[in-house]
Amino acid sequence: MQDTKKELSLRDVGYAQAGVADTLVSLAKYVMGKVEGYPADLPSEARAELVEGYQLRWHENNPPKVYAVIGDHYVLATDEQIKNKKVEKIEVGAAYAFSYSSQEFGKLKNTNPALHDIVSKVRERVGTYCSNRLGDLKDAAMALLKPDTKGTRTTLDFTASMTKIFTAQEKSVKVKQGRGDTTANGDNYKKAVAAFWATYK
C-alpha cells in the first residue's frame, strides 16, 4: 500500500514553527491578563495549575511503563508477564510518581529503594520538563514587555521613565502585600512616591 503521508518541506517546518511561536505569545498574553503581576510574580496557586497542565502533557507523551516485581527487583514487564495474572506488576508514570507526598517519597528510599529509584527518575524528568515549560512561558511574557525594536524607538525622558517604574512597582507592592509580605505596604509606597515627586519637582 502506498504511503499517502506528505513529506514536510523546510517551508512547512518554518510555517509550523512560526505557528507554535504565535500560540505561545497568545498564551503568555492570556496569563499576563489573568495573573496580576506576571511575569515578575507567579503565585503558588497559579504555578500549581500550570504545572498540572504540563504534567498532563508529559503523561500523554510518555505513557506509564509496566514493571514486573521479581523479588526485590523491578524490571520492565514483557508481553508474557503483562498477560500473566500471577506475576506481580506495577505501572509507573507521572501520576503514580507524584501520588507520593514529599514525606512519603522520602520514606520510600528506606522501605523500597528499588522502587524509589524508578519513581525518582520519573519525578526528575517531569520536574525538568515542567520547569522548562514555565521558562518558555515567562520568556514569551518578558519579550512582550520589551519595547519594540523595529523602526523608530521612542526614548522616554527621565520623568516618563520614573513614572513607568513607579506604576509597575505599585502593582508589585499590591501583589506582595496580598501574599503576606510584611515589608510591602501600599499606603507607605504611595507616600514615598509622592515625597519623591515633591522633592524632585
Please give the share of the chain, as a percent, with pLDDT higher than 70.
90
| The overall pTM is greater than 0.75 | no
- pLDDT tens column, 50-84: 999 999 999 999 999 999 999 989 999 999 999 99
Reference 133, options 56, 19, 45; nearest CA is 56
- pLDDT tens column, 85-114: 999 999 999 999 999 999 999 999 999 999
Res 101: pLDDT: 93
The pLDDT-based confidence of 118 (bands split at 50, 70, 90) is very high
The pLDDT-based confidence of 147 (bands split at 50, 70, 90) is low
181 pLDDT more than 80: no
Reference 35, options 137, 132, 136; nearest CA is 137
1 pLDDT more than 50: no
Res 63: pLDDT: 95
2 pLDDT more than 50: no
The pLDDT-based confidence of 152 (bands split at 50, 70, 90) is very low
Give the sheet arrangement for strand 89-92, strand by strand.
73-76, 65-70, 89-92
The residue type of 156 is: L
Query: 57 is written with which cell numbers?
Result: 502533557
